[in-house]
Chains A and B, each alone.
Chain A
Amino acid sequence: MDAFFVPTIDIDRLGLDEGGLLLVRRALAQLAVGERLHLRGCAPDWDLHLTAWCRQQGHEIEIHRLADGPLEAVIVRGPWAQDRWRGALESGTSQLAKDEMPAQIADAAWGLAARGATVEAGSPAIGFNLRHRDEIWAATAGDLYRQAAAAQWDPQTAIDWDAPFDLDPEIEAAIAQVMTYLIENENAALVVPARHLGQVHPHFREVQQALALQCADEARHIEVFTRRLGLRGHRPMLSTAGGQASLHTLMQAPDFSSATFLLSVLGEGSFINLLNFLHEHAPDPVTRQICRLAARDEARHVAFAMAHLEHRLTAQPEFLTRLQNAVEQRHEELASSAGLNEEVFDALVLLAAGALTPEAIAIGHGAVQRLKLDMAAGRKARLLRLGFDPAQAQRLADMHTQNFM
């Protein structure tokens, strides 16, 4: 700074307790440590307040009276504000360019800071377990988050809850059983990503956001399935031990990638077939509407899971074996359980049949068999895309839980 230039500010009638400190701080920030700032003011007791503030902040200060009467303060900038940022951490790039990736490992000491922020040294290391990029990253996570944010729908207005329909009590009971089953499955589809969400280092913002909206989607699905279930006065129906045992294994998956693989690639992928089946065969417009919207959401979840696993397998091809093990282990655990309960199976047949006559039931049964084949074919196609050879893909697709999710 020019040796002859003495920076001077006049805070006039502005009290230091009325915002004047902002002007003082900004003026001091322009100075090097040890340089002087002259300050004048005429608010009551500004000099006393300034002296107290400088003492607290570690700036030297002298107050003297000018020849023409008013007081003037001379502040010598102390080093403390600058010292705070010595050794500060840089935390990456806020907005990723196309094909740019976040850090390979997010520093625990970056904590909750916005990605790209300068983080004070000594900030607490926050124990986010998922802080290695390859364990969670998906190249399209940001795009999928934006799609999800744009596609959020309001259950109150997106569904015509007052649409007229009148169902045979047997058919309405079948709807109630299917909804009971869907809610149970969506509870798992909410809980599994939610358990991981809290472990994701915020550096991987796009993944965090995609998972957050995935949870929001599932919360909405639970709402609409619950509302449809009770729309004609039914209470929730049967929940079987076998069904819950199958879902429980999803919560026990050993890592994020395996859980995402089992839940989304295999489970939610199969669920899209189921929801499309219900959209096609449901006997009432409300059920058809909610299944159409839910299927659209589930497709994003599958897309995120596929993108994540493609990233992980590119970085760690050997992880394919872990995925195979995950399917086999789940299959072993569920070997003694019943799979899809009879009540749900029969309800699906009945919905596709539309009536309890033998002819209609034969048609419904055939439709459900085709649904199961479609599910298996879809699973195999996704497994092939991830790099399993055809025989392996077929075997693993067939080992998937009979409970669908």
Chain B
Amino acid sequence: MTQPTLIMGAVAYAPKVVTIWEGFKAWFAQQGFAFDYVLYSNYEAQVEAQFDGTLHVAWNSPLAWVRADRMARSRGQSVQAVAMRNTDCNLRSVIVVRADSLLQSAADLRGKTLGVGAIDSPQATLLPLHHLRLAGLIGGQDFTVRRFDVLAGKHGDHIGGERDAALALLAGDVDACCMIDGNHLGFGLDGTLPAGSTRIIERTAPYDHCNFTTSPDAPQDLIDRFVELLMSMKYDDPQVRPLLELEGLKKWKPGRVDFYPDLAQAVDEEGFYSADGRILRADYRY
């Protein structure tokens, strides 16, 4: 009898995605676990495939998690976040100005132009806009939002939008811009934003990033074995380490969902998804 195969979905935001999942597939096979993957060009199609029986589990962005959770609840079903990277926990986004800018805090952005990432980027668009809304400023109303849309549909996985916004900041095209905390450090280290050339005026609350989201009715034994194998991956295993490095983690951790509510709120504020997970934004192209 053929061994049941766990089918996972992933979004091809870069060519390395094939390398990563081919490597994981080979490693899972060595452990006697039948695993295969389906690549999508965007998270929307991937999440929808979680509800038509195509996928057992999906490697989801935080925004894709929010949508999958809403779609499941609206159907009386449930999805679970079963695992995530150590690097997915407790991220913050920052709002950055040029070092010589007069802007000191969120309030100073009134009447100014804020550069954000892709329309669907949690870290460079939705969460910073939510943060500013908490400070009393509404994008498009109290300040101008200029989007740097790179690879929409990939939920900001591509760093290009944040980089373009940072370059626009240096060029004086925007008054402030948004990025993930690690990218502010990274842009300083790689010279995109020379050290001392910018200043952080706002930090968002901590939030979590990607997770493995189960599909409704996914076979529990397959999911359990999948998670068990993920947790057994060791960074000191030379076969696994390059894959972990490509995927940007040191170890897998059990999934948690208590750092997604800010994003869910941002989704409602920006009218991105409906309560049942339908896409609402007419200008969202993916």
Are the C-beta atoms of B87 and A55 separated by less than 8 Å?
yes
User: Is A87 among interface residues, defined by CB-CB distance under 8 A?
Assistant: yes
Are the C-beta atoms of A51 and B235 separated by less than 8 Å?
no
A78 proximity list for chain B (CB < 8 A): 250
Please judge, given known A-B contacts A45-B200, A80-B235, A83-B235, whether A17 and B250 are in contact too, CB under 8 Å. Answer: no
User: Is A98 among interface residues, defined by CB-CB distance under 8 A?
Assistant: no
Are the C-beta atoms of B234 and A55 separated by less than 8 Å?
no
Are the C-beta atoms of A48 and B203 separated by less than 8 Å?
yes
What CA separation (Å) do A21 and B195 show in the bound complex? 13
Are the C-beta atoms of B181 and A52 separated by less than 8 Å?
yes
What CA separation (Å) do A49 and B199 show in the bound complex? 12
User: Is A16 among interface residues, defined by CB-CB distance under 8 A?
Assistant: yes
User: Is B236 among interface residues, defined by CB-CB distance under 8 A?
Assistant: yes
Q: Which of A18, A49, A122 contacts B239 (CB 8 A)?
A: A122
What CA separation (Å) do A87 and B240 show in the bound complex? 14
A51 proximity list for chain B (CB < 8 A): 90, 92, 181
User: Is A156 among interface residues, defined by CB-CB distance under 8 A?
Assistant: no
What CA separation (Å) do A57 and B86 show in the bound complex? 9
Are the C-beta atoms of B242 and A56 separated by less than 8 Å?
no
Residue in A15, A53, A56, A121 with the greatest tally of chain B CB atoms within 10 Å: A56
Are the C-beta atoms of B195 and A17 separated by less than 8 Å?
yes
Q: Which of A17, A56, A120, A121 contacts B188 (CB 8 A)?
A: A17
What CA separation (Å) do A353 and B206 show in the bound complex? 93
Please judge, given known A-B contacts A17-B188, A18-B195, A84-B235, whether A53 and B182 are in contact too, CB under 8 Å. Answer: yes
A15 proximity list for chain B (CB < 8 A): 188, 195-196
Are the C-beta atoms of A17 and B185 separated by less than 8 Å?
yes
B146 proximity list for chain A (CB < 8 A): none
What CA separation (Å) do A15 and B241 show in the bound complex? 30
A83 proximity list for chain B (CB < 8 A): 234-236, 241
> How many residues of A are in contact with the other chain, CB < 8 A?
26
User: Is B223 among interface residues, defined by CB-CB distance under 8 A?
Assistant: no
What CA separation (Å) do A120 and B188 show in the bound complex? 28
B94 proximity list for chain A (CB < 8 A): 45, 48
- A151 CB to closest chain B CB (Å) equals 44
User: Is B251 among interface residues, defined by CB-CB distance under 8 A?
Assistant: yes
Q: Interface 1/0s, chain A 33-62, versus B by CB < 8 A?
A: 000000000001100110111011110000
Are the C-beta atoms of B241 and A55 separated by less than 8 Å?
no
User: Is A65 among interface residues, defined by CB-CB distance under 8 A?
Assistant: no
What CA separation (Å) do A141 and B250 show in the bound complex? 45
Please judge, given known A-B contacts A84-B236, A121-B238, A122-B241, whether A48 and B181 are in contact too, CB under 8 Å. Answer: yes
- B83 CB to closest chain A CB (Å) equals 16
User: Is A86 among interface residues, defined by CB-CB distance under 8 A?
Assistant: yes
What CA separation (Å) do A52 and B123 show in the bound complex? 14
Are the C-beta atoms of A58 and B236 separated by less than 8 Å?
no
Q: Interface 1/0s, chain A 226-262, versus B by CB < 8 A?
A: 0000000000000000000000000000000000000
Q: Interface 1/0s, chain A 144-184, versus B by CB < 8 A?
A: 00000000000000000000000000000000000000000
- B199 nearest in chain A by CB position: A44
What CA separation (Å) do A120 and B86 show in the bound complex? 23
- B86 nearest in chain A by CB position: A58
- A315 CB to closest chain B CB (Å) equals 33
- A80 nearest in chain B by CB position: B250
- B191 nearest in chain A by CB position: A17
Residues 169-217 of B at the A interface (beta carbon under 8 Å): 180-182, 184-185, 188-189, 195-196, 199-200, 203
What CA separation (Å) do A236 and B40 show in the bound complex? 62
User: Is B89 among interface residues, defined by CB-CB distance under 8 A?
Assistant: yes
B250 proximity list for chain A (CB < 8 A): 57-58, 78, 80
Are the C-beta atoms of B200 and A48 separated by less than 8 Å?
yes
B92 proximity list for chain A (CB < 8 A): 48, 51-52
Are the C-beta atoms of A84 and B241 separated by less than 8 Å?
yes
- A58 nearest in chain B by CB position: B250
- A274 CB to closest chain B CB (Å) equals 54
User: Is B91 among interface residues, defined by CB-CB distance under 8 A?
Assistant: yes
What CA separation (Å) do A15 and B196 show in the bound complex? 8
- A85 nearest in chain B by CB position: B236
Q: Interface 1/0s, chain A 53-84, versus B by CB < 8 A?
A: 10111100000000000000000001110011
What CA separation (Å) do A56 and B250 show in the bound complex? 8
Are the C-beta atoms of A58 and B200 separated by less than 8 Å?
no
A21 proximity list for chain B (CB < 8 A): 189
- B88 nearest in chain A by CB position: A55
- B197 CB to closest chain A CB (Å) equals 10
Are the C-beta atoms of A49 and B238 separated by less than 8 Å?
no
Residue in B180, B184, B195 with the greatest tally of chain A CB atoms within 10 Å: B195
B196 proximity list for chain A (CB < 8 A): 15, 18
Residue in A52, A53, A56, A83 with the greatest tally of chain B CB atoms within 10 Å: A52
B238 proximity list for chain A (CB < 8 A): 87, 120-122
What CA separation (Å) do A57 and B251 show in the bound complex? 10
Q: Interface 1/0s, chain A 2-25, versus B by CB < 8 A?
A: 000000000000011110010000
B185 proximity list for chain A (CB < 8 A): 16-17, 49, 52-53
What CA separation (Å) do A237 and B248 show in the bound complex? 63
Give me 22 A-to-B residue pairs in the complex whose CB atoms sit less than 8 angstroms apart, sorted by A's number: A16-B188, A17-B188, A18-B188, A18-B196, A44-B199, A44-B200, A45-B184, A48-B94, A48-B200, A49-B181, A55-B86, A55-B87, A55-B90, A56-B182, A56-B248, A79-B235, A80-B250, A83-B236, A84-B236, A84-B241, A87-B236, A122-B238
| Chain A interfacial positions (CB closer than 8 Å to B) | 15-18, 21, 44-45, 48-49, 51-53, 55-58, 78-80, 83-84, 86-87, 120-122
Q: Closest 7 A-B residue pairs measured CB to CB? A: A122-B238, A17-B188, A58-B250, A83-B236, A52-B182, A121-B238, A86-B236
Supplied contacts A45-B184, A84-B235, 20 more A-B pairs, CB within 8 Å: A15-B196, A18-B195, A44-B199, A44-B200, A45-B200, A48-B181, A48-B200, A48-B203, A49-B184, A49-B188, A51-B90, A51-B181, A52-B182, A56-B182, A56-B248, A58-B251, A83-B234, A83-B241, A84-B241, A122-B242
